[in-house]
């Protein structure tokens, strides 16, 4: 069973955003599995890096959509993205410097933050984009 499931409850009803959210959740599940299975440090590091890289790609896509369509709540949305990136990057730096392992609290943070972000912040963006190109 996956750590985090992408189901109807997390859909925002925008094909592009939902597709990217599914990939993001797959990355979270791979990180969870690597940690739970006790994979080698290098495997966990690569999986964490994959999550960070894909998150940055996804956030870029959303931020471009906000810019293109002049989304009124773009700044607050960008700030939420920035907060998430800072939190995850801090864990990555600590892990790379061998200060700490990837904590279980990161996995719970990912699950809770992404779920809330999808359901509220991204849903509002998807609703705004409805009727525009790419909806």
pTM > 0.75: yes or no: yes
Instruction: Please list the rounded mean pLDDT of every run of 10 residues in the chain (135 residues).
Output: 91 95 96 89 91 96 97 97 93 80 83 96 96 64
Q: How many domains does the chain have?
A: 1
- 5's tokens: 């499931």
60 occurs within a structural domain: yes
Question: Residue 29 belongs to what domain range?
Answer: 12-129
State the pLDDT at residue 133. Answer: 63
State the pLDDT at residue 135. Answer: 44
1 occurs within a structural domain: no
- 52's tokens: 């960070």
State the pLDDT at residue 115. Answer: 96
State the pLDDT at residue 80. Answer: 97
């Amino acid at each position: 069973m996956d750590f985090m499931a992408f189901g109807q409850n997390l859909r925002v009803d925008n094909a592009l955003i939902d597709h990217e959210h599914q990939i993001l959740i797959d990355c979270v599940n791979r990180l969870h599995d690597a940690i739970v299975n006790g994979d080698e440090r290098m495997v966990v590091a690569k999986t964490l890096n994959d999550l960070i890289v894909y998150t940055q790609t996804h956030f870029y896509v959303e931020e471009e959509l906000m810019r293109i369509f002049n989304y009124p709540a773009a700044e607050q949305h960008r700030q939420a993205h920035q907060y998430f990136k800072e939190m995850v990057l801090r864990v990555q730096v600590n892990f790379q410097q061998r200060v700490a392992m990837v904590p279980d609290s990161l996995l719970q943070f990912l699950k809770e933050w992404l779920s809330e972000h999808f359901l509220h912040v991204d849903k509002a963006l998807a609703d705004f984009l409805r009727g525009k190109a790419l909806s």
